[in-house]
Structure 1
Amino acid sequence: MSFLLERTYGLRPNYWYIPENEVSTGAQNLFFESSPDNETQQFLDHSNNISASFFWQTVRNIGVMILSSIYSKTDINGMTGFGNMFLFSEQQFANFLAIDRQTWRANNKSVLDLGAGNGDITEHMRSFFDNVYATELSPKMRNRLTSKGYKVLDALEWAKTDVKFDLITAFNLLDRHYSPGKLLEDLWINAHRSNCNVVVSLVLPVNHYVEFNPNGKSTRPDKFLNVQGRTYAEHVHHMIFNVFKPANFEVIRWTRLPYLCEGDMSHAAYYLPDAVFLLKPIIPEPTATLTAEEIATTKPPVPETVHEDL
C-alpha cells in the first residue's frame, strides 16, 4: 500500500499521517495514528485517471472559465461535479471514533455535518447513521446534498433545531467560517444538549479564508482563531489548549489525515495536511453547581486570548 501511494503521488505516505515536527507532550499524549487503506488508494487512482484525461481536463477548464465570471468556485464545483474531496474512509472513520462495526447499530442514530459541500466526505459516515443532516451555504451544493438524500438544514439557523444528534461534525469549516467563535459556541450548545461528541477538522497551519460571509463581502472572519507559531505541530497544540479548551471542549483524541482533492493537468491529486479532533463538550467550572435547567440554557464563554506555553 505504501508503494502504491508513493507511486501515485510521489510523496512518502508516512508524511501524510505523522506530524513532520515534534508536537508538544500534551498533544502527543492525545495523538491517534491513522494509516492509509484501499479506499484512499482508490480515490488517488480515480483522480490520477481524471488528471490524465486530456478531454476531461479541457472540458473542465472551459467550463470553469465560462462560469467563474458569475459563480463562486464552490458553486461551480457543485454544478459540474469538479473538485471532489477525500478525507477518510469508512474504516478510518470507525477506527478514529472507536466504533466496533460488528456491534454498531445505525438504528435511529443521527449525524449532522456542517458545511458539507457536495457530501463526498459525509458519504463515508452514512452507513453508521440512519439520519444524515447537513448544512451548506452554497445553493448549488445544497442541491447536490438534497439529491443524495441528506436532510439539509438552514446553514445560518441550524443551531436552533430541536433535533438531537449522536454526532456533530465540522470538516474544514472552522477556518472558513465568518465567525469561528460563534461556530464553537453553537457546537457546544448543541453537543451539550444532545449529549454527543463533535468532530472538527481543519488544515494546519491555520489560514483563514471566508468565501460565504452573510455579514458582507470580507474574506476575513470577525475574529481569528487564537493560534501562534508557523508549523503544523505548533498549531495543533494551540488548537487543543488555546481554542478548544477555552470553548469548553475536551479533546479526546486527534489524528493527522491527508485532505485530498482531485487533480488537474499539473498534478494527479492535491494534498493538504489536516488535523482531525474528537471533542467532548464539558460543563464550564463556574456553572458546575447550577441546576439542570440552568445548565441546559448556559452558553459557554467566548474563547479568551490566553496562550499556554509549548
Structure 2
Amino acid sequence: MFVLSGAQARRMLGAAGAHVGGRLVDVGAGDGEVSRRFAHLYNDKFATEISSCMRKALKNKGYTLLDTESWCEGGEFECVCMLNLLDRCAAPRGMLRQARAALSPHGVLLLALVLPYKPYVEVTPDHKPTERLPITGVTFEEQVTSFVAFMQEMGFELRSWSRAPYLCEGDFAQAYYWLDDSVYVFKPIDIKT
C-alpha cells in the first residue's frame, strides 16, 4: 500500500508547523510500510494492530506495539497517525477522541481518509460501523469540507491537507486499486461550548 512518500509527509508536517522528534504512534498500522516512509522523523515509534501476523511484521520493523484498546493511555505523542483507518473501524468517533486525548499540546494528527466515504468494517456482522462519520456531499470537495467541519467540532484544526492517489492491494478481480485519498494534518484545539 502507498499513501505518502517521505518527502510528501515532511512537506505536509512542515506546512502544519509540526515538531518532529518525540513519539509517533501509527494506529491500525498494518505491516508498518505506510508510516515507515516518515516514522524515522520521530525518536520513538509505536503502533497498534489487531492482526497477529502484522504485529510480528511491525516488531521486526522496530515498532513498539501497544494495546489496541488502551494505546492512548500510554503518554503523549507528537504524532498520531490514522492512515485509512476511520472508514475501516467500527467506532471512528471513539478513535478520534482517543487520538485527541493522546496528543501532546503541540502534537499533530496525520490522517488519511478515502473519499467518497464508504465505510466497510470487517469485524461487525453487517460490515457497517457502529458509529458513522457525518460526512455529507457528493463531490470529493464537498466531502472534504464536510469532514473538516466535523473535525473542528471534535477539537481539531486543519493545518495542511492534500489529495493523493492511494494505491492498495487488489483481489482476484484486479491486481491493485487506485483510490482518492484525502490526507490531513490536524492540530488539537480547545473546543468552544
TM-score, normalized by the shorter chain, greater than 0.5: yes
Structure 1 position 264, deviation (Å): 7.1
Q: Alpha-carbon deviation of 1:221?
A: 1.1
- Contact persistence 2:90–2:121 (CA under 8 A): yes
Maintained 8 Å contact 1:165/1:194: no
Q: Structure 2 regions of 5+ residues with no counterpart?
A: none
SS at match of 1:124: helix
Amino acid aligned to 1:247: M
- 2:186 matched residue in structure 1: 279
Alignment map for 1:51-62 (pairs within 5 Å): none
Q: Deviations over 1:173-193 (max 9, x none)?
A: 1111111111111111112x4
Asked if 1:120 corresponds to 2:28, the answer is no
| Cα separation, 2, equivalents of 1:267 and 1:178 | 26
Whole-angstrom CA distance in 1 between matches of 2:97 and 2:168? 30
Query: How many residues are aligned here?
Result: 190
1:195 aligns with 2:102: no
Q: CA deviation at 1:261?
A: 2.3
Residues 105 and 199 of structure 1, relative CA distance in 2, 3 Å threshold: closer
- Cα distance, 1:224 vs structure 2: 0.9
Separation in 2 of the partners of 1:160 and 1:186?
Answer: 9
Question: How many angstroms apart in 1 are the aligned matches of 2:123 and 2:70?
Answer: 15
| CA pair 160-86 structure 1, distance change in 2 beyond 3 A | same
Who is 1:180 aligned against?
A: 92
Other-structure match for 2:3: 87
Match of 1:248 among 151, 155, 161: 155
Letter in 2 for 1:125: F
3-state SS of 1:128 partner: coil
**1:205, distance to aligned residue in structure 2 (A):** 0.8
Q: Give the distance between the partners of 1:114 and 1:279, measured in 2 at CA.
A: 15
The separation in 1 between residues aligned to 2:172 and 2:101, in whole angstroms, is 45
The letter of the residue matching 2:57 is: R
* 1:112-261 map, 5 Å: 112-161=25-74, 163-191=75-103, 193-213=104-124, 217-241=125-149, 243-261=150-168
SS at match of 2:94: helix
Q: What is the alpha-carbon distance in structure 2 between the residues aligned to residue 211 and residue 226 of structure 1?
A: 20
- In percent, how many aligned pairs have the same letter? 33
Query: Corresponding residue for 1:59?
Result: none
Q: Output the TM-score relative to the length of structure 2.
A: 0.90
Tell me the secondary structure at the aligned position of residue 40 of structure 2: helix
Question: Deviation of residue 210 (structure 1)?
Answer: 1.0
Distance in structure 2 (CA, Å) of the matches to 1:147 and 1:129: 18
SS state of the match for residue 228, structure 1?
A: coil
Structure 1 runs of 4+ with >3 Å offset: 262-269
Q: Deviations over 1:230-285 (max 9, x none)?
A: 221111110011x2011011111210111112567865642110001110111112
Give the structure-1-normalised TM-score: 0.57
Read off the aligned partner of 1:115 and give its amino acid letter: G
CA shift in 2, pair 1:105/1:115, >3 Å: closer
> Closer, same or farther in 2 for the Cα pair 1:105/1:271, shift >3 Å?
closer
Structure with the bigger percentage of helix: 1
CA distance in 2, matches of 1:135, 1:194: 22
Q: 1:96 to 1:189 in 2, by over 3 A?
A: same
- Bigger radius of gyration: 1
Letter in 1 for 2:127: T
Q: State the secondary structure of the residue aligned to 1:195.
A: strand
Residue matched to 1:7? none
Secondary structure at 2:93 match in 1: helix
Secondary structure (helix, strand or coil) at the match of 2:14 reads coil
Query: Whole-Å Cα distance in 1 between the matches of residues 98 and 20 of structure 2?
Result: 28
3-state SS in 2 of match to 1:260:
strand
